[in-house]
C-alpha cells in the first residue's frame, strides 16, 4: 500500500512513473529493502502539486527556502550505506520535504524510531501532515547539527557540512553508521561514511549547505 499525504491520490500515471524510475535509476542499488521502500513511498506526495509531473525523474527538485528534495538514485545509495534494520533508531538531519524521513520510517518499521530535524519552519509545516501516517517519526523544528539526543543506530544528513561532523558521529550507538555530504557550499563535496569498518570517502555530490539556526 502506498503511503501518501492527506488528500494525495496515487494515480496509475504516478505508479507508472515510479515503476520507470525504479527500473531505470535504481537497478544498481545494493539494498533491495531500499528499492522496496521507494516503490511504496509516493515521492509526488512530498513535492508541490506543480512538480507532480517530474516527481519521478531522477533529479533533485526545489521545495522552497533554497532547499531541495534529493535525487532518488543518490538517496537510495545513501540509505543503502546505512544498512538499516527494523527496530533501529535514526536521526534525519535536514528533513526538508519529509520524503527521506518517510523512507527511513519504512525501513525501521513500526518498532523503530526516526527523529527528523528541519531548520526551516515552512518546510516543517508542510511536512507535518505528510508524515502524520508514520507514527514512528518525530518531526522537530530545529538545527539538526546541534540537536540533542541519541544514541542513534544511524544518522542521515541531507545538507553539506563544512567539515566532518564529529559531534554527530559521537551520538552514534556502538556499531552505528553515519552518512553525510562534506564540503563548502560553492566547492567540491563528497559523501563521508562512518560505519563499523571505519571511515571512508565515497562519491562526489552537491547538496545545499548546512546552515546554523532556525529559519
Strands 172-182 and 67-69 turn out to be unpaired
CATH number, position 189: 3.40.50.150
pLDDT at 211: 84
CB atoms within 10 A of CB 56: 24
Q: Pull the grid cell for residue 106.
A: 519504512
- Residue 37 domain flag: no
- Residue 81 domain flag: yes
- Residue 10 domain flag: no
Query: Rounded to an integer, what is the distance from CA 115 to the centroid of its chain?
Result: 11
- Residue 214 domain flag: no
pLDDT at 203: 96
Q: Is the dihedral of CA 119, 123, 126, 131 positive or negative?
A: negative
Beta strands in 148-197 (DSSP E): 152-157, 172-182, 189-195
Q: How many domains does the chain have?
A: 1
pLDDT at 2: 47
pLDDT at 15: 92
The residue segments making up the domain with residue 162 are 62-205
Q: Which amino acids are annotated catalytic?
A: 70
- Residue 104 domain flag: yes
| Residue pLDDT, tens place only, 125-158 | 999 999 999 999 999 999 988 877 889 999 999 9
pLDDT at 145: 86
- Residue 16 domain flag: no
pTM for the model: 0.94
Which residues make Cβ contacts (< 8 Å) with residue 49, sequence separation at least 6?
Answer: none
pLDDT at 49: 83
Q: Pull the grid cell for residue 188.
A: 567540491
Which residues make Cβ contacts (< 8 Å) with residue 125, sequence separation at least 6?
Answer: none
pLDDT at 182: 97
Q: Is the dihedral of CA 16, 75, 59, 45 positive or negative?
A: positive
Positions in the chain short of pLDDT 50? 1-2, 6-7
pLDDT at 214: 79
- Residue 169 domain flag: yes
- Residue 17 domain flag: no
Residues 151, 169: Cα–Cα separation, whole Å: 10
Amino acid at each position: 500500500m502506498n503511503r501518501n499525504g492527506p488528500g494525495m491520490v496515487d494515480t496509475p500515471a504516478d505508479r507508472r512513473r515510479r515503476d520507470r524510475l525504479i527500473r531505470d535509476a535504481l537497478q544498481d542499488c545494493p539494498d533491495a529493502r531500499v528499492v522496496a521502500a521507494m516503490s511504496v513511498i509516493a515521492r509526488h506526495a512530498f513535492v508541490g502539486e506543480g512538480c507532480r509531473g517530474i516527481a519521478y525523474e531522477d533529479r533533485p527538485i526545489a521545495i522552497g527556502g533554497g532547499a531541495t528534495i534529493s535525487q532518488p538514485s543518490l538517496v537510495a545509495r545513501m540509505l543503502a550505506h546505512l544498512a538499516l534494520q527494523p527496530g533501529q533508531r535514526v536521526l534525519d538531519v535536514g528533513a526538508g520535504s519529509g520524503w527521506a524521513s518517510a523512507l527511513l520510517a519504512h525501513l525501521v518499521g513500526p518498532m523503530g524510531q526516526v527523529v527528523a530535524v528541519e531548520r526551516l519552519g515552512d518546510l516543517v509545516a508542510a511536512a507535518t501532515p505528510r508524515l502524520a501516517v508514520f507514527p514512528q517519526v518525530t518531526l522537530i523544528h530545529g538545527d539538526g547539527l546541534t540537536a540533542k539526543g541519541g544514541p542513534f543506530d544511524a544518522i542521515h544528513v541531507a545538507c553539506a557540512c563544512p567539515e566532518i561532523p564529529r559531534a554527530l558521529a559521537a551520538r552514534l550507538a556502538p556499531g552505528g553508521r553515519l552518512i553525510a555530504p562534506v564540503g563548502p557550499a560553492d566547492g567540491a563535496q563528497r559523501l563521508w561514511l562512518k560505519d563499523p569498518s571505519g571511515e571512508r570517502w565515497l562519491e562526489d555530490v552537491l547538496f545545499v549547505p548546512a546552515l546554523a539556526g532556525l529559519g
